[in-house]
Amino acid sequence: MPVNARSDEAPSTAGREVVETRLFDAPRALVFDAWTKPEHVAQWWGPNGFTTTIHEMDVRPGGTWRLTMHGPDGRDYRNRIVFVEIARPERLVYKHVPELGTEPVSHETTVTFTERGGRTQVTVRMVFPTRATLEHVIRTYGVVQGLTQTLSRLALHLPTMR
């Protein structure tokens, strides 16, 4: 019988995750607000060319965030997210939960906000249930480029909040 990992160790996410880190020239509380206040999220969320409609954003553990991303091709992408952990202004954890009529792709995202001398380092870690699921969202939705572009849009939005 093979030896299993200790029960207190998290299972490996190798091959199932997308991680991006970006340093923003803004204080941590401001960046956290940009990520958790619907009036700001609607201004920057999504890849280049997308707009976002926030239907509901209840930022608390167990709270729901429902949004529709409107693609430049006219296609709408409905999303339902459930918050797992809110540790203002250090960390957000949420799960993408498919709704009826949408593609059944789920993932869990952890966003950390680290103070760096008046600047904020944000690390986004998206973990998918399987390598095949990750490969599908890379191929179908361009998740890696989309995350990069979304964070670039956040960088452009932050100066408008001051």
Here the CATH number for the domain that contains residue 127 is 3.30.530.20
pLDDT digits (tens, 9 = 90+) for 133-154: 999 999 988 999 999 999 999 9
pLDDT digits (tens, 9 = 90+) for 98-118: 877 777 788 999 999 999 999
pLDDT of residue 110: 98
Helix, strand, coil share of the chain (percent; to 5): 30, 35, 35
DSSP 26: S
What are the strands of the beta sheet with 51-57, ordered from one edge? 17-24, 119-127, 107-116, 91-96, 76-87, 64-70, 51-57
Burial class from Cβ neighbours inside 10 Å (0-12, 13-18, 19+) for residue 66 reads: middle
The residue segments making up the domain with residue 125 are 21-161
Closest CA to 123 of 112, 114, 133: 112
Q: Is residue 2 a part of any domain in this protein?
A: no
Q: Is residue 85 a part of any domain in this protein?
A: yes
pLDDT of residue 5: 41
Q: Is residue 139 a part of any domain in this protein?
A: yes
Q: Is residue 105 a part of any domain in this protein?
A: yes
Q: Is residue 67 a part of any domain in this protein?
A: yes
| 103, two tokens | 């593609």
For residue 4, pLDDT over 90 is answered with: no
Q: Is residue 81 a part of any domain in this protein?
A: yes
pLDDT of residue 131: 93
pLDDT of residue 105: 80
Domain count of the fold of the chain: 1
Report CA-CA distances (Å) from 11 to 16, 97, 127, 139. Answer: 11, 21, 11, 25
Distance of CA 16 to the CA centre of its chain: 15
More confident position, 41 or 7: 41
